[in-house]
Structure 1
């Protein structure tokens, strides 16, 4: 990651964001010692003071822990604190802002159980019951997105597909859940067979994978979603204001 010295967002916060993502995506595993402060200085090209402030930020969030004479480690069974508030923009609103109408053409609702990876992302125990939503979406002109959403099934969530055709976040609002934290990363991938089948594309067609983590910690809500977009039909916009 290259930090932006011209960005009004503090350098230590930019670094903390990147380090937090390393933990959420398991690039840095639970219990693993992270690079030393000097190594992080070399990675991010910043001073040791800046690196320490970034580490302190993640320690406040219970993501990292320092052990004297040993180093700094990823804390086991992390839980984010409610420090950073953002407005989460869902697919429906995203298209509305571009003058388009979001369309859902197919939904599957499944009840399953959390494995180790999902238990970390959803802040639950391995084996806890989870709800999986698989949605194929697009606009008035074409279908170009496949969403797989995971949430803990500890509320009276509907198991009826018809209840999830509109905005997922609007549905959550009916349950008293107002998501206010979001982290995302985006990467280009080659589609596997499931994605090819869902989006009716070929193995050689480019796909944009967008992974989203959202939460409302005070209500004990966590969401993990993988979004797959057909590369030549979707453009991702960043709001830098």
Structure 2
């Protein structure tokens, strides 16, 4: 548990202000996070400690924390407390890019560890997604995707084998698949369809991501196109405490 550092004298709440107390507290806590007082992954003080430090009710503290959770700055775990999220792992609107590029754009060091590479026949569902006949030969690449050395996702990529001869010879840890496809085969992703669902981690995936079986996260399915046809079908299991999706919605009229 992180000890509560007393708030600076100037960082007090004004009960006579037109700004509600919960909004004032939200701003003060936000400033402490942005100042680096609580680093990403750090557990912040308890509700009781915050009540005592700022002289406010538990309702006010919960309102302030709830707003910061909704903004993606904090995360809560039942029975575990409240933690500072790493906002760099928040995925919003983005282009068709690799996971490595997505992390790099957020200031993180991307990495990957290959679990296995093999060939397998396409099952009917994947074959339909790739517009191939069932049984068509696919290259399967399973990797753990890392951000700053920490596991974020387990990803399985299925690629049309006839389009990428000898691809296996060029795959390895910390290698960008899309960079290889571009450099050696002239294949550039242009469009993708992606579906995210909330899921509990299967027993074979949980230890790879260093989480408990059934821990909540995302299951993502993606089909990627190069402008002519689909060339990749990918499924990913992503840690819910290290990856977040946030979209901005806006009416056009």
The whole-number CA distance in structure 1 between the counterparts of 2:127 and 2:214 is 33
TM-score (norm 2): 0.56
1:115: which partner in 2? 123
CA contact (8 A) 1:190 1:206 kept: yes
Q: CA deviation at 1:109?
A: 0.7
In structure 2, distance between residues paired with 1:238 and 1:172: 29
Is residue 2:199 matched to residue 1:189? yes
Q: CA deviation at 1:233?
A: 1.6
Per-residue CA deviations over 1:85-119 (Å, capped at 9, x if unaligned) read: x9412111111111111011233111000111111
Which of 148, 169, 177 does residue 168 from structure 1 map onto? 177
CA contact (8 A) 1:107 1:164 kept: no
1:147 aligns with 2:161: no
Q: How does 1:60-209 map to 2 (within 5 A)?
A: 87-154=95-162, 155-160=164-169, 162-163=171-172, 165-174=174-183, 175-209=185-219
CA–CA distance in structure 1, aligned partners of residues 117 and 140 of structure 2: 6
The count of residues paired between Structure 1 and Structure 2 equals 155
SS in structure 2 at match of 1:169:
helix
Gapped runs of 5+ residues in structure 2? 1-93
- State the alpha-carbon separation in 2 of the partners of residues 138 and 129 from structure 1: 28
Deviation of 1:126 (Å): 1.0
- Deviation of the 1:146 alpha carbon: 0.5
SS of 2:108's equivalent?
Answer: coil
**Are residues 135 and 209 of structure 1, via their aligned partners in 2, closer, same or farther at CA, if it must alter by over 3 Å?**
same
For the Cα contact (< 8 Å) 2:171–2:177, is it kept in 1? no
Q: Structure 1's 187 and 171: CA in aligned 2 closer, same or farther, altered over 3 A?
A: same
Superposition deviation, residue 235 in structure 1: 2.2
Structure whose alpha-carbon radius of gyration is higher? 2
Please give the alpha-carbon distance, in whole angstroms, between the structure 2 residues aligned to 1:116 and 1:232: 33
What does 1:21-40 align with in structure 2 at a 5 Å threshold? Answer: none
Q: 1:238 to 1:90 in 2, by over 3 A?
A: farther
C-alpha distance in 2 between matches for 1:176 and 1:238 = 32
Give the C-alpha shift of residue 181 in structure 1: 1.1
SS at 1:194's partner residue? coil
Per-residue CA deviation, residues 39-68 of structure 1 (Å, 9 max, x unaligned), is xxxxxxxxxxxxxxxxxxxxxxxxxxxxxx
Whether 2:245 is the aligned partner of 1:230: answer no
SS where residue 167 of structure 2 aligns? coil
TM-score (norm 1): 0.58
For residues 147 and 234 of structure 1, the distance between their equivalents in structure 2, rounded to whole angstroms, comes to: 14
The runs of 5 or more residues in structure 1 that have no matched partner are 1-85
For 1:157 and 1:137, the matched residues in 2 are separated by 23
